[in-house]
Amino acid sequence: MKKDKNDEMYSIPDAPFPIFDTQLSIQENLTQSAQLKIPTPQLPQTQHPHKFFDYTIQHPLGIPACPITGSSAYIRLLAQLGFSVFTHKTIRSFAHPPHPFPHTLPVSYQLLSHLDLHTSVMHSTDQQPTLMNTLALANSIGNSSDMLAASVQGIADSRAALNNNQILIASIYGAATNTRTLVDDWTFLACTVVEAGAHAVEANFSCPNLHDNSPIYCNLDLMQQIIKNITTAINPIPLIIKVGISNNAQQMETMMCAAACAGARGICGINSVSTQILNEHHQPAFGTRTTAGISGAPIFNLAVKWIQHAYYINKKHNLDLTILGTGGITLPEQFDSFFDAGADIAMSGTGTMWDPYLATRYIKRIYNANISTLNTHYRNMYEHPAQ
Ligand SMILES: Cc1cc2nc3c(=O)[nH]c(=O)nc-3n(C[C@H](O)[C@H](O)[C@H](O)COP(=O)(O)O)c2cc1C
């Protein structure tokens, strides 16, 4: 693979990468994040910050809700490496344990397509990933959450770890409790994270690891009720909805129109893709759980198609939704594929877990490029030394 003069390599060196360990639990990874020490290079500052809702951000590069946005230590580190938009890992209003260990497993690379979404089987592997372009991960967690007071403190600390022109979105997942209905719990959580300092709220309507109900983005009446209640309560703070792939184009169009009409101002896709995962003995790799969510390189094409379609629907119906794209970016140049497809913000979760310098490499590449070759999102954003 071609090497950039700013990068040592795209294959994964022993140290200091990755910043996440599949052999540890999610909680152990979060605890260890406080000890992470990796060099943080100086980055060029853009002269024209980008708009994001009513805020400004330095770079339209972000990290979706995942373990490396689950602690202020992770967020502080990644905020120094070029990312500007962070979606804090999903929280609930009560403590909720993860599914049994393991929580994540490397899987053998296989590109997923729309055609085999409901039939594909992927295989876990003992080999740790060695190449970014085939980085593939399965996760089985189920929106685990700390007690609310600890989660709220984590969000406040993460917000405090950011600089100007960096944004914290808090991801929430509501559930009926003894004292609150399902819709009230979503609204309560949204208000709570805004009070803790979140610049925006993301409603996780699409976790692939919960089997109690079909995802909320497929249940339009319920989705609209939750969006209306949240947006009324947190106005003017924007609400983003996190979705997965729809069964067909019409369903996605109806869903996006319903979400915008109810008051959502942003849409983030795609969540990890639910797939059957077997081990080398052809047994379910996650014990009693036969399916888990796939992220990283296998879902890149699905994510690009989702963004293209979301962009088209947004324009066709004048929905004015901000589009946050995530799914499969593991190489710096792939941020451009998301921008070209129509994303306002391009995000990488799994890729960044193995290469925390993804945004750094992208920004340095742009800064050193001839400005006329830049993606439209970046034209005029940098005062290029040669201009
Ligand atoms: C280990 C792991 C945990 C995740 N946890 C969450 C979560 O708490 N909330 C959520 O909305 N998405 C979660 N996701 C999904 C990501 O936000 C993202 O949608 C998905 O991984 C695809 O993007 P990627 O390929 O860049 O990682 C998680 C993904 C991974 C790999």
DSSP string across 308-372:
HHHHHHHHHTT--PEEEEES---STTHHHHHHHHT-SEEE-SHHHHH-TTHHHHHHHHHHHS-GG
Substitution site in 23, 26, 66 for ligand 1 pocket (most atoms within 8 Å of beta carbon): 66
Among 209, 207, 205, smallest CA distance to 266 is for 205
Distance in angstroms between the alpha carbons of the first and the last residue of the chain: 30
pLDDT tens profile 349-383 = 999 999 999 998 898 877 776 544 555 545 444 43
Instruction: Give the pLDDT confidence score for residue 6 in this predicted structure.
Output: 45
Residue nearest to atom 24 of ligand 1 (CA): 327
CB 294 within 8 A of CB 137: yes
Instruction: Give the pLDDT confidence score for residue 56 in this predicted structure.
Output: 96
DSSP string across 167-232:
EEEEEE-----SSS-HHHHHHHHHHHHHHTT-SEEEEE---TT--SSS-GGG-HHHHHHHHHHHHH
CA distance 38 to 16: 6
CB-facing half-sphere around the CA of 264: CA atoms within 13 A: 30
Instruction: Give the pLDDT confidence score for residue 11 in this predicted structure.
Output: 38
Confirm or reject: Cβ of 231 under 6 Å from ligand 1.
no
- Find tokens 């910050």 and name the residue: 49
Residue 261 annotated as catalytic: no
Sign of CA dihedral 107, 111, 114, 120: negative
Return the domain boundaries, the chain. Answer: 26-373
Residues of the chain with pLDDT under 50: 1-16, 371-372, 377, 379-387
- Please give the structure tokens belonging to residue 130: 């060695």
Instruction: Give the pLDDT confidence score for residue 17 in this predicted structure.
Output: 73
Q: What is the pTM of this model?
A: 0.93
CB 324 within 8 A of CB 343: yes
Among 180, 182, 223, 221, smallest CA distance to 203 is for 223
Instruction: Give the pLDDT confidence score for residue 183 in this predicted structure.
Output: 97
Instruction: Give the pLDDT confidence score for residue 14 in this predicted structure.
Output: 38
CA distance 31 to 82: 23
Q: Are strands 61-63 and 85-91 parallel, antiparallel or unpaired?
A: parallel
Substitution site in 295, 299, 306, 335 for ligand 1 pocket (most atoms within 8 Å of beta carbon): 295
Burial category of 346 from C-beta neighbours within 10 Å (exposed 0-12, middle 13-18, buried 19 and up): buried
Confirm or reject: Cβ of 324 under 6 Å from ligand 1.
no
Whether domain 26-373 has CATH 3.20.20.70: the reply is yes
Instruction: Give the pLDDT confidence score for residue 8 in this predicted structure.
Output: 45
Instruction: Give the pLDDT confidence score for residue 115 in this predicted structure.
Output: 83
50 Cα: distance to centroid of ligand 1 (angstroms): 24
